[in-house]
Amino acid sequence: MQKARNENGTIAVYSEEQMQQKFNRFQLNDGSDVNLFYASAKEVLEEYGFFDVVTPTLMAGEKLGAIYFDEAENVFAYPIEQIPPKTQDELDAEAQAALDSDSSAQIIQNHRNNGQTQLRRIWDKIQRLKDNGQLTFNQFRTVSEVLFDALLPLEFGMWQVAQTKVNATPTASGIIGTIRTQVKAIIDTYVTENY
C-alpha cells in the first residue's frame, strides 16, 4: 500500500518499494537486511507523518483530483473529478492525430521524404549540368519545361503520379533524352520496389 506525507508543503507519495529503499535500512547479525521503519506499526509511521493513501476506483468520465489529507479518515485521498466533455475541435484533433500516427501515415511520410530528396537530387544534377556547360540554357529550359510538372508530385510523395507523368513526356535524343531516361529509371525503380 502506498504511504504519503506532507514534506515542506508538498504531499509526497511513496510506494512500498520506495519506502523500503528510502527509510532506515538495518542489517541484522545474520547478514539479512530489514527496514525497521517501514515494518513499524501504523501508529509509528503516523508519528512521522506517513499515512495510507486511498485511491478511489474511477468510472468512465472521471479522473483523480489533487491528493489531499482527509482528517476525518486520517488518510491521504484523491477526490474524483468529472472529465469535461471534449469540444469538437479536440475530437477532430484526436482523430487527425490517430490518422497521422497509423502505419499508413508512416509509409506516406517515407514516400514524401524520399520524393523530396530525389526531386532535389534530380534538379541539382540538371543544374550542375547547366553550370558545367554540359547543357545550354535552351536545353536547360527544355528539360525544365518537360520534366518540372512531371516531377512535382515527388514533393508530395506521389511517386506513381510522377511515374505516369514522366512516361507521358515526349522522348528526345541527346542529353535531354539521356536525362529523361535516367529520371524515368529512378522513378520506375522506386515504384517497383515500394508499391
> Could you read off the pLDDT of 148-181 as tens digits, one per residue?
999 999 999 999 999 999 999 988 889 999 999 9
Between the alpha carbon of residue 54 and those of residues 20, 74, 83, 99, 189, the distances in Å are: 19, 10, 20, 38, 62
Task: Judge whether 78 and 64 are in contact, CB under 8 Å.
Answer: yes
d(CA 157, CA 178): 24
The pLDDT confidence band at residue 111, using thresholds 50, 70 and 90, is very high
- Across 86-114, average pLDDT: 91
DSSP 114-156: HHHHHHHHHHHHHHHHHHTTSS-HHHHHHHHHHHHHHHGGGGG
- 3-state class (DSSP) for residue 186: helix
Question: How do residues 31-84 score in pLDDT, each as one tens digit?
Answer: 666 565 655 678 878 887 889 999 999 999 999 999 999 999 999 999 999 999
Average pLDDT, the chain: 89
pTM score, whole prediction: 0.52
pLDDT in the model for residue 93? 95
Q: Pull the grid cell for residue 111.
A: 514516400
